[in-house]
């Protein structure tokens, strides 16, 4: 056996492994991903390039698009809907625009990632059917653009918050572990639904419906306390509240808001359930994807 | 150490429909109809080991599992059961440019695609320039790929794939990419990789390429290995057994066996294939592209064990082909005719017979020679010999050691327009090619719809060379004229000059190729005797025979002394004519030649003048013939006039009203009779052996020089065309030969010509041009085209 010319036997080994995906194990996943990191970046770059190549404003759209989306939603909820409801949607001292943006930016990330990842294998079936490479790269690359919009959205959020008189404390550092949890959930579910969508094409549509429902069933444009208060008052059956809280995004979005806008350490219980979901979904998603990877091309 | 090791691998594709309708491509409707498609087993348990540096072909019908096997080895799909080990990097050329995105530039796509094939940026950087250079896209590399032509796209994709430097290449039919020259480049590159010790797995339907490239072949059918091993045997087996079911017909008679496979014929003799995998097929040039009989959709109209009639229709050309082939005691007879259903521009039609390279010698008419060996540098087909048109048969033979039976290709003489050409193919095709071509003058196009005969070819593997020579001698007329110093042999429209001397003189060193011939003394005693060409057998036992040994030095070569006439678009050559003997008196030799396409008769008269000179005269008699007998006169520059006696003269006006000659009474009434023949130029030439190194005209002189490989056709060596009547050739040893004109039509220009290396001759030519006039207009009657002499 001749090692690759640059002497990186790891790469050569990875390809031997790829040549027999039937034996691709979970243990090898990190190594495979490291070996194909450049490919992953290339695919993400391709996605971004292709999106804006022939547009006159070019890359500016990457900023304008999420910005316009947030402006429209903020306008609708703050100017059209909020006055009628009459109550403050978020905690005391938090402007509606900041509260909404905080929920929206992080919620959009998960939504965009999941719908893009689910469709990714079908969209790239000519690659999957013809070329052998680490299959995980495809759904992961599909999450590149949402990550990019998240960054832009986050910058916008900070600016809006500053303009509206919000301050940023050290507690903002809590968003790092929070985002890690959210990312794990998103990647795990995304891999799972991507693999599943190849066998059951209905999955793609179901994912989109669930995400639409999730937008209202997550504290995006209202506060979690609002829901908890309604539960305590007995207006809503306890089982519905339990179901609501089973959505890890409910806790996560609340925690983001506490860390960023309220400037305090998020409540401990907000971490527990999402972290459990994250571990389970990440492992489950990777295992499911690895299992189906060798035969993906048979179903495409 | 093995590179690929597969043990009992199977592949079953999942079911579709039924209860699992939600799976894959199934739909809800299927769920209710409950019509499941059963799981499809694409590969039965299959074991395979491939050694490093091996080129393994995989052949089989469509759906036999070839691509599935390749996909499993490539890692695109996993085997259902069994184990597979692949050592080393694998690059699959399963589909070129799969990862290309049209909106990215060529540069970005190179990095992306190479990344998909397992390369890192640093590795791509190292060979980026080589990739671009190979794809010939230096100028466009920063343009987006959607501005590329499909050829550029594929070139770039192939170039990336080939530069990934893997240990194992999987190639699936991708060699059929790009234009002809790029295809050759790809093949050459694949051969380089093979030479560099890479392992190649090659799936193709192009059996010729498989044979040229692969060391061993795996034959798959219905997912199982049918045969595995020697390339030739496996391909033979495939053609005979597996192919049978898929529209391939087999004709058999005695030892001769013929396979008809969608417009391609393969010939077997005693189970051994004589034809190359490309077989025998027809080819046409139309609409600026070559079309082959294998591209047509074939329908077998009638078939028995010994006879087959098939009709082929071209999908994109209003052309229909009819093949009738028959095997019998006389070997294989193939009759091909073609019909255009609409007016069609077509400039060329041919029957191509590709044979094994174990045939090493060719014989055509009186000439014969050895095929050059085909080397890896041969990217093009090369002409080995182009025998004259009225050669009705040519033959290929193998080495003495080979067991290949001599293969005789005979064409029916009535069909005199076709012409044999004997070629070598390029390295990948690895075949000898006997080409029966028919050129259609451009003036005739577009051709009106009509069924036309392309040729009837008889290929006889059972006929031996001796039998052939015997038949040849019976048919071919040759007469010889002798003087004390040389022999002029007039045959097939050539005059072959041979010097004979009892003892070699200083002017002919021993290096000069000579042959020794035993002759009857009686014939040598009489210098002007003429007899049959081969007076070898001492027939009369009562005669006292003295046998002397003579050294012979051939002075002429290849096409010997011949003439060419240009009539309209066509060159008519002396060897295109059918020659017969006319009444001869003592010491003068005379022969006349005729052709179906040529409204006249040419009479050659040869007369010795002293021991060193041969007087030659060429007389052309234009005869008035009614056009019915001249089917192919269209396109010829002949002037016609309507018969005055015709009750309804056709509206065709005479092209030249002057010099009318009364048509002979024999001309049928109401038909157009020939009035004059227009010859735009003509020449007489003598092709000399390469021992002649220098040439001399009254105005210029020079060296012939060695033929360069790059020479395309004949190279004229004189710088100016100056009027003159004599041209000489000289050898290094001082012997010379001169061609002198005493009387010609128009102006005469001596020209020295070097032929290409295959023909390897030095040509002295006297070119006769009408000067200011457009052409020579020759009315009915006799015209002296040339009177002159050839002197040593």
Which candidate in B10, B84, B120 is best for mutational testing of the A interface (most A CBs within 10 A)?
B120
CB pair distance less than 8 Å for B103 and A127: no
Per-domain boundaries in chain B: 4-234, 247-467, 480-558, 559-643+651-791
Question: For the structural domain made of B559-643+651-791, what CATH number should be given?
Answer: 2.70.98
Q: What is the pLDDT of residue B631?
A: 42
B122 contacts on A by Cβ (under 8 Å): 6
B130 contacts on A by Cβ (under 8 Å): none
**Whether pLDDT at A214 is above 70:** yes
Q: Which two tokens stand for residue A227?
A: 């829901």
Cα distances (Å, whole numbers) of residue A140 to A17, A288, B399, B649:
20, 15, 65, 86
Note the pLDDT tens digit of each residue in B69-79: 888 888 888 88
* B431 in Cβ contact with B314 (< 8 Å): no
Q: How is residue B511 annotated by DSSP?
A: T
Residue in A with minimal Cα distance to B110 = A42
> Around A228, how many Cα atoms within 13 Å sit in the side-chain half-sphere?
10
Note the pLDDT tens digit of each residue in B399-450: 767 777 778 777 765 555 667 788 888 877 788 888 888 767 666 667 778 7
Which candidate in B2, B67, B95, B116 is best for mutational testing of the A interface (most A CBs within 10 A)?
B116
A49 contacts on B by Cβ (under 8 Å): 103-104, 108
**Whether pLDDT at B654 is above 60:** no
**Whether pLDDT at A56 is above 70:** yes
A129 contacts on B by Cβ (under 8 Å): 76, 98
Note the pLDDT tens digit of each residue in B193-205: 888 888 888 887 7
Nearest-neighbour CA in chain A from B103: distance (Å): 6
d(CA A285, CA A293): 12
Average pLDDT of the segment spanning B261-286: 83
Q: Evaluate whether the domain defined by B4-234 bears CATH number 3.40.50.740.
A: no
Q: The tokens 């290849």 sit on which residue?
A: B558
Q: What is the pLDDT of residue B524?
A: 34
Which candidate in B17, B118, B124 is best for mutational testing of the A interface (most A CBs within 10 A)?
B118
Residues paired with residue B60 on neighbouring β-strands, in sequence order: B220
* B60 in Cβ contact with B12 (< 8 Å): no
**Whether pLDDT at B537 is above 70:** no
Concatenating the DSSP letter of every residue in B422-439 gives EEE--TTT--EEEEEEEE
d(CA B418, CA B576): 10
Q: What is the pLDDT of residue B238?
A: 77
Nearest-neighbour CA in chain A from B81: distance (Å): 9
Q: Which residues contact A224 (CB under 8 A, 6 or more apart)?
A: A250, A251, A253, A254
Q: What is the pLDDT of residue B409?
A: 79
**Whether pLDDT at A37 is above 50:** yes
Q: Confirm or reject contact between A298 and chain B (CB < 8 A).
A: yes
CB atoms < 10 A from the CB of A158, how many? 16
Percent of chain A with pLDDT over 90: 30
Supply the mean pLDDT for chain B. Answer: 74
Q: Which two tokens stand for residue A113?
A: 């990632």
d(CA A247, CA B11): 41
Higher pLDDT, residue B1 or B426: B426
**Whether pLDDT at A184 is above 60:** yes
H or E, element range at B284: strand B275-286
Q: Confirm or reject contact between A123 and chain B (CB < 8 A).
A: no
Q: Confirm or reject contact between A37 and chain B (CB < 8 A).
A: no
Q: How far is CA B311 from the centre of its chain?
A: 24
Q: The tokens 């016609």 sit on which residue?
A: B640
B114: left (phi over 0), alpha (psi -120 to 50) or beta: alpha
* B421 in Cβ contact with B383 (< 8 Å): yes
Q: What is the pLDDT of residue B246?
A: 55
Q: What is the pLDDT of residue B504?
A: 47
Note the pLDDT tens digit of each residue in B472-500: 555 556 777 877 788 888 877 788 888 87
Residue in A with minimal Cα distance to B113 = A39
d(CA A201, CA A208): 12
Q: The tokens 């002057």 sit on which residue?
A: B658
Nearest-neighbour CA in chain A from B119: distance (Å): 9
d(CA B226, CA B61): 12
**Whether pLDDT at B699 is above 60:** yes
B126 contacts on A by Cβ (under 8 Å): 5
A5 contacts on B by Cβ (under 8 Å): 123, 126, 165
Per-domain boundaries in chain A: 43-299
Confidence of residue B722 (pLDDT cuts 50, 70, 90): confident
CB pair distance less than 8 Å for B86 and A20: yes
d(CA B595, CA B598): 5
Question: For the structural domain made of B247-467, what CATH number should be given?
Answer: 2.70.98.10
CB pair distance less than 8 Å for B123 and A42: no
CB pair distance less than 8 Å for A46 and B87: no
Note the pLDDT tens digit of each residue in A79-100: 776 655 555 667 777 887 888 8
Nearest-neighbour CA in chain B from A7: distance (Å): 11
Confidence of residue B466 (pLDDT cuts 50, 70, 90): low
User: ∠ at Cα B459 (B453, B465), nearest 5°?
Assistant: 135
Q: Which residues contact B559 (CB under 8 A, 6 or more apart)?
A: B388, B494, B575, B685, B687, B759, B761
CB atoms < 10 A from the CB of B512, how many? 18
d(CA B479, CA B592): 12
Going through B356-444 in order, the beta strands assigned E by DSSP cover: 359-364, 367-370, 382-385, 393-398, 407-411, 419-424, 432-439
Q: Confirm or reject contact between A39 and chain B (CB < 8 A).
A: yes
H or E, element range at B696: strand B692-696
> Which of B565, B564, B568 is CA-nearest to residue B634?
B568
**Largest Cα–Cα separation, chain B:** 104
Which candidate in B22, B26, B76, B92 is best for mutational testing of the A interface (most A CBs within 10 A)?
B76
Residue in A with minimal Cα distance to B79 = A22
Residues paired with residue B420 on neighbouring β-strands, in sequence order: B436
Interface of A with B in 199-238 (CB under 8 A): 199-202
Confidence of residue B344 (pLDDT cuts 50, 70, 90): confident
Q: What is the pLDDT of residue A251?
A: 92
Interface of A with B in 124-153 (CB under 8 A): 126-133
Q: Confirm or reject contact between A79 and chain B (CB < 8 A).
A: no
CB pair distance less than 8 Å for B92 and A36: no
Nearest-neighbour CA in chain A from B88: distance (Å): 6
* B454 in Cβ contact with B282 (< 8 Å): yes
CB pair distance less than 8 Å for B90 and A127: no
Q: Chain A to chain B, count of Cβ pairs less than 8 Å apart?
A: 123
B104 contacts on A by Cβ (under 8 Å): 46, 49-50
Confidence of residue A234 (pLDDT cuts 50, 70, 90): confident
B85 contacts on A by Cβ (under 8 Å): 20
3-state secondary structure B337-348: EEEECCCECEEE
Q: The tokens 């008196």 sit on which residue?
A: B585
3-state secondary structure B2-24: CCEEEEEEEEEECCECHHHCCEC
Cα distances (Å, whole numbers) of residue B658 to B637, B646, B669, B783:
16, 20, 22, 18
Peptide bond just before B446 cis, omega within 30 deg: yes
Q: How is residue B36 annotated by DSSP?
A: P
Supply the mean pLDDT for chain A. Answer: 82
Region of poorest pLDDT, from A152-166, B200-214, B329-343: B200-214
Average pLDDT of the segment spanning B102-108: 85
* A156 in Cβ contact with A67 (< 8 Å): yes
A127: left (phi over 0), alpha (psi -120 to 50) or beta: alpha
Q: Confirm or reject contact between A7 and chain B (CB < 8 A).
A: no
Cα distances (Å, whole numbers) of residue B563 to A93, B410, B767:
110, 25, 10
Q: What is the pLDDT of residue A247?
A: 92
């Amino acid at each position: 056996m001749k090692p690759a010319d640059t002497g990186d036997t790891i790469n050569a080994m990875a390809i031997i492994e790829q040549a027999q995906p039937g034996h691709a194990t979970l243990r090898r996943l990190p190594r495979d991903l490291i070996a194909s990191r450049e490919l992953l970046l290339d695919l993400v770059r391709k996605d971004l390039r292709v999106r804006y190549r022939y547009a006159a404003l070019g890359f500016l759209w990457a900023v304008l698009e999420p910005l316009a989306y947030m402006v429209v939603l903020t306008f609708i909820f703050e100017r059209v809907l909020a006055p009628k409801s009459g109550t403050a949607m978020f905690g005391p001292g938090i402007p509606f625009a900041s509260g909404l943006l905080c929920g929206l930016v992080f919620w959009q990330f998960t939504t965009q990632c999941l719908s893009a990842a689910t469709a990714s294998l079908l969209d790239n079936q000519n690659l999957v059917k013809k070329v052998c490479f680490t299959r995980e790269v495809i759904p992961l690359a599909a999450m590149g653009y949402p990550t990019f919009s998240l960054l832009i959205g986050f910058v916008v959020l900070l600016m809006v918050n500053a303009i509206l008189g919000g301050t940023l404390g050290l507690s903002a550092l809590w968003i790092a572990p929070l985002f890690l949890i959210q990312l794990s959930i998103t990647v795990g579910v995304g891999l799972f639904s991507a693999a599943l969508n190849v066998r059951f094409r209905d999955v793609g549509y179901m994912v989109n419906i669930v995400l639409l429902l999730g937008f209202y069933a997550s504290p995006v444009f209202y506060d979690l306390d609002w829901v908890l208060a309604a539960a305590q008052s007995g207006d809503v059956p306890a089982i519905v509240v339990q179901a609501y809280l089973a959505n890890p995004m409910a806790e996560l979005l609340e925690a983001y808001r506490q860390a960023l806008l309220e400037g305090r350490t998020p409540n401990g219980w907000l971490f527990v359930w999402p972290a459990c979901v994250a571990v389970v979904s990440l492992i489950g998603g990777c295992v499911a994807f690895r299992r189906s990877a060798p035969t993906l091309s048979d179903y495409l | 150490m093995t590179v690929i090791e597969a043990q009992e691998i199977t592949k079953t594709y999942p079911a579709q429909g039924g209860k699992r309708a939600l799976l894959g491509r199934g739909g809800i409707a299927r769920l209710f109809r409950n019509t499941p498609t059963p799981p499809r087993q694409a590969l039965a348990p299959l074991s395979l080991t491939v050694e490093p540096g091996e080129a393994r072909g995989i052949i089989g019908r469509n759906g036999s599992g070839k691509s599935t096997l390749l996909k499993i080895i490539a890692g695109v799909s996993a085997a259902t059961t069994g184990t597979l080990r692949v050592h080393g990097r694998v690059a699959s050329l399963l589909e070129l440019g799969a990862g290309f995105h049209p909106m990215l530039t060529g540069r970005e796509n190179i990095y992306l695609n190479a990344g998909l094939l397992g390369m890192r940026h640093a590795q791509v950087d190292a060979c980026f320039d080589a990739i671009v250079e190979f794809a010939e896209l230096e100028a466009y590399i920063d343009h987006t790929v959607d501005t590329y032509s499909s050829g550029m796209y594929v070139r770039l994709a192939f170039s990336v794939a080939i530069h990934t430097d893997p240990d194992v290449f999987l190639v699936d039919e991708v060699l059929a990419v790009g234009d002809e020259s790029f295809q050759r480049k790809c093949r050459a590159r694949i051969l380089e990789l093979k030479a560099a010790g890479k392992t190649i797995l090659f799936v193709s339907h192009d059996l010729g390429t498989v044979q040229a490239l692969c060391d061993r072949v795996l034959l798959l059918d219905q997912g199982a290995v049918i045969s595995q091993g020697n390339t030739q045997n496996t391909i033979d087996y495939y053609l005979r057994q597996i192919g049978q079911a898929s529209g391939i017909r087999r004709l058999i008679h005695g030892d001769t066996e013929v396979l008809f496979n969608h417009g391609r014929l393969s010939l077997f003799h005693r189970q051994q294939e004589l034809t190359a995998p490309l077989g025998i097929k027809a080819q046409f040039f139309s609409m600026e592209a070559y079309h082959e009989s294998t591209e047509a959709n074939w329908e077998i109209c009638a078939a028995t064990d010994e006879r087959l009639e098939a009709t082929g229709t071209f999908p994109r050309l209003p052309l229909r082909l009819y093949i009738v082939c028959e095997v019998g005691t006389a070997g294989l007879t193939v009759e091909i005719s073609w019909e255009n259903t609409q007016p069609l521009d077509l400039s060329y039609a041919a029957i191509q017979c590709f044979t094994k390279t174990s045939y090493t010698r060719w014989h055509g008419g009186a000439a014969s020679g050895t095929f050059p060996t085909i080397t890896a540098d041969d990217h093009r087909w090369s002409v080995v010999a182009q025998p004259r048109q009225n050669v009705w048969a040519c033959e290929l033979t193998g080495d003495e050691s080979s067991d290949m039976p001599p293969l005789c290709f005979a064409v029916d003489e009535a069909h005199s327009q076709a012409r044999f050409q004997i070629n070598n193919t390029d390295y990948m095709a690895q075949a000898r090619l006997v080409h029966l071509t028919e050129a259609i003058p451009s003036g005739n196009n577009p051709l009106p719809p009509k069924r036309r005969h392309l040729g009837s070819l008889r290929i006889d593997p059972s006929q031996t060379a001796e039998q052939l020579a015997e038949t040849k001698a019976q048919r071919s007329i040759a007469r010889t004229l002798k003087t004390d110093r040389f022999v002029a042999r007039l045959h097939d429209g050539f005059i072959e000059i041979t010097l004979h001397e009892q003892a070699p003189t200083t002017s002919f060193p021993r290096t000069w190729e000579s042959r020794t011939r035993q002759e009857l003394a009686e014939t040598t005693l009489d210098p002007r005797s003429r007899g049959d060409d081969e007076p070898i057998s001492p027939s009369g036992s009562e005669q006292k025979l003295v046998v002397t040994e003579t050294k012979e030095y051939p002075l002429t070569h290849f096409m010997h002394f011949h003439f060419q006439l240009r009539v309209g678009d066509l060159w008519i050559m002396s060897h295109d004519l059918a020659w017969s003997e006319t009444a001869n008196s003592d010491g003068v030799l005379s022969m006349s030649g005729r052709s179906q396409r040529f409204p006249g008769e040419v009479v050659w008269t040869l007369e010795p003048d002293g021991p060193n000179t041969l007087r030659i005269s060429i007389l052309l008699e234009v005869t008035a013939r009614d056009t019915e007998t001249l089917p192919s006169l269209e396109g010829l520059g002949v002037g016609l006039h309507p018969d005055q006696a015709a009750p309804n003269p056709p509206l065709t006006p005479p092209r030249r009203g002057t010099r009318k000659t009364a048509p002979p009474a024999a001309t049928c009434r109401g038909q157009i009779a020939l009035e004059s023949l227009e010859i735009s130029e003509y020449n007489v030439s003598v092709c000399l052996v390469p021992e002649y190194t220098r040439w001399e005209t009254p105005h210029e002189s020079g060296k012939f020089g060695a033929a360069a490989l790059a020479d395309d056709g004949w190279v004229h060596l004189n710088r100016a065309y100056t009027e003159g009547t004599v041209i000489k050739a000289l050898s290094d040893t001082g012997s010379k030969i001169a061609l002198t004109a005493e009387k010609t039509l128009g102006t005469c220009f001596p020209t020295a010509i070097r032929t290409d290396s295959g023909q390897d001759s030095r040509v002295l030519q006297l070119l006769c041009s009408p000067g200011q006039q457009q052409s020579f207009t020759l009315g009915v009657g006799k015209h002296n085209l040339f009177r002159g002499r050839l002197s040593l």
